Chain A
Amino acid sequence: MKLTVDERWDLIEKISKETVIFGVYKHTVKDAIGELTVKPLTGIPIAFAVLYGFWSFFGSFAGFFTDGFFVKLFDEHWLPWLQDVFPGGLGNWFYAIMVDAGHMENGILVASDNCFESFGVLTSGFFLAIGVVLPAIIAFYLILTLLEDTGYMPRLAVLIDTVLHKIGLHGFAIVPTILSLGCNVPAVTASRILETKKQRFIMMTLLAIFIPCGAQLGIMEEVIPDTIGFVLLYLFTGYFILGFILHKVLPGKSPEILIDVPPYQMPMLRDVAMKLWMRVKGFFKIAIPFVLLGCIIVNILYLANIIDWLANVLSPVLSGWFGVPKETVGPLIAAFLRKDLAVAQLSAIEMTKYQMITSVVLVSIYFPCVATFMMLLKEGWKDLLGSIAVLALVVFLYGGLLHLIWILLGVA
């Protein structure tokens, strides 16, 4: 027999009257902390402190291992050793793909002296994946896991709710957004917790366009440490502007949320370790093959002169509209596969600080990497097509806007 909603609640009341005793509730320290972190007056400063702490830890942890250890290991030992022992030598095509393509200086092909420039599978491929991205990803997921397991995330969701309503989402959208800063792939799946089609479309489009992943952030910390703040600010501003526009333009509902804020918990070491391990492993299953494959493909395209050809064809758009060197076409192709790879490649191209900012922004907002693309496709091809249409427009306008800003500032 099926009951109506009222009958069911009625029955529950009777059952609970006979089986449950609700005692007097004592206010505990846990509750006090809970309230401090969720009430706006104290909660917002705490949230800023927590996020700033997150960012500092990310930067210093990753920097400590990358600069302090891996850069030296790869540039001073691994690269010279391979250049020494790998058969072929400079100019050989296989050597170029695997170890070092070299670069032209006054018409002479010279060997690279660091793993950002060499761009071989065994050199840059391994250096980027293990030396730069691995520490960044571990640092990111360690903090994220702690925030998740203590129960801080839903509190953050409550605090940011009002802001996210302005872009058609609600507080809980902070979960996919923060996950996306680690990797866009799980973030796309996490968007399912949003109730309406409209919300999911907005969320996935914003993630795909504006949120750089942890691997990319790690590389950015390495190659543009001075301007990364500006790049992120520009991207996050774009997230809100586009969200606001989509919210106004798209039909559909953006409902309120009722959210359970769970009590704070001490994270269990075993669970944290397990989750960190699974996430890092999951990430690398996606990342490593594409980083290595990306190195191979980009090298082949260079060797076959396809990139040079494309650079000349697209030169009016790249240098005319966006104001970046036409050589950025190489990284833009790599960005289809991996954004971290693309940013690393940018660092080897000669350009001004401002062109570099534009290029990094372009790599970030232009087309999701192939893994994210497949995830979006899994969630529905119609939405994906819509997202890509929005994306194309955003790249053109928002990327072009940056060029305009540089022109107005007189630094283009």
Chain B
Amino acid sequence: MKVLLMGHPNVGKSVVFNRLTGANVIISNYPGTTVDYTKGYMKVKGKDFTVIDVPGTFSLEAKDKAEEVAVKMLEEEKDAVVICVVDSSKIERGLYLTLEIIERGYPVILALNMWDIAQDKSIHIDAEKLENILGIPVIPTIAINGKGIKDLVSKIKDATPVETDKILEKVGGKE
């Protein structure tokens, strides 16, 4: 089974990747460190997973070559589970990409990364409620010190595709 790590640039996808696979891909504190994809492997309860660290992209309409790599990757891996990594302190735009991927019918797990930074900025997110509305697993993580990663791994099997209608209904439908 394949797991794609997707999200905006500089939200920590590569850090999550290193944590999941024990591999070492280059990470930095600026957007655009990963410009090509990297594959790694992990085993969860005897099952083999291929994890792919995808370059950061703001949306599924690519604007540069690194984003093209990301979008192509998603389109090629039709059966993949997508871990959407977002910067919790900028959750709204993270949700934009998350929704785009959900709309395309992929099973998605949402990793609310940089949870500590959001708290520093006194941004409080009700992860349970968010999970309820989106209908997908939502896990707060701090990838840099490993918090939440175990949880993230254990939820991969729970990811299923969600109809956008269901999400709309939960927040009161379309206007």
A-side residues, CB < 8 A to B, are 1-3, 7-16, 18-26, 28, 145, 148-151, 153-154, 157, 172, 175, 189-190, 192-195, 200, 259-260, 262-263, 265, 268, 271, 274-275, 278-279
Q: A153 — which chain B residues lie within 8 A by C-beta?
A: 28-30
Q: Which of B24, B117, B168 contacts A278 (CB 8 A)?
A: B24
Asked if B47 CB lies within 8 Å of chain A CBs, one says: no
From A151, which residue of chain B is reached at the shortest CB distance?
B29
Q: How far is the CB of B171 from chain A (nearest CB, A)?
A: 4
B79 on the interface (CB 8 Å rule)? Answer: no
Across chains A and B, which 8 residue pairs bring their CB atoms closest together, nearest first?
A: A23-B122, A148-B28, A193-B32, A151-B29, A14-B171, A192-B65, A192-B35, A1-B164
Contact (Cβ within 8 A) B96 A8: yes
* B100 interfacial contact with A, CB 8 Å: yes
A375 CB to nearest chain B CB (Å): 12
Q: Is the CB of A16 within 8 A of B91?
A: yes
Majority secondary structure, A binding face:
helix
- Rounded to whole angstroms, the CA-CA distance of A16 and B10 in the bound complex is 22
Docked CA distance A263–B119 (Å): 14
B153 adjacent to chain A (CB < 8 Å): no
Q: Is B32's CB under 8 angstroms from A172's CB?
A: yes
Q: Which residues from 145 to 170 on chain B have a C-beta closer than 8 Å to any C-beta of chain A?
A: 163-165, 167-168
Q: How many A-B residue pairs have CB under 8 A?
A: 126
Q: Nearest chain B CB to A200's CB is how many angstroms away?
A: 7
Interface residue ranges of B19-33 to A (CB < 8 Å)? 24, 26-33
Known contacts A18-B126, A20-B123; 10 additional CB pairs below 8 A are A2-B103, A8-B100, A11-B171, A19-B126, A20-B91, A154-B31, A193-B32, A200-B65, A260-B8, A278-B24
Q: Please, how many angstroms separate the alpha-carbon atoms of A19 and B118 in the complex?
A: 14
Whether A1 pairs with B103 at a CB distance below 8 angstroms is: yes
CB distance from A274 to the nearest CB of B (A): 5
Q: A1-B103, A19-B130 are in contact. Are A149 and B122 (CB under 8 A)?
A: no
Q: Is the CB of A195 within 8 A of B121?
A: no
In the complex, what residue of chain A is closest to B10 when comparing beta carbons?
A262
Q: Which residues of A contact B121 (CB under 8 A)?
A: 23, 25
The contact string, 1 if C-beta is below 8 Å from chain A, for chain B 44-80, is: 0000000000000000000111100100000000000
Complex Cα distance, B10 from A24, in Å, reads: 24
For B27, the chain A residues whose CB sits under 8 A away are 149, 271, 275
Interface presence of B125 (CB below 8 A): yes
In the assembled complex, the CB of A405 is this many whole angstroms from the nearest CB of chain B, namely: 38
Min distance, Cβ A18 to any Cβ of chain B, angstroms: 6
Whole-angstrom distance from the CB of B31 to the nearest CB of chain A?
Answer: 6
Does B134 sit at the interface, judged by CB under 8 A?
A: yes
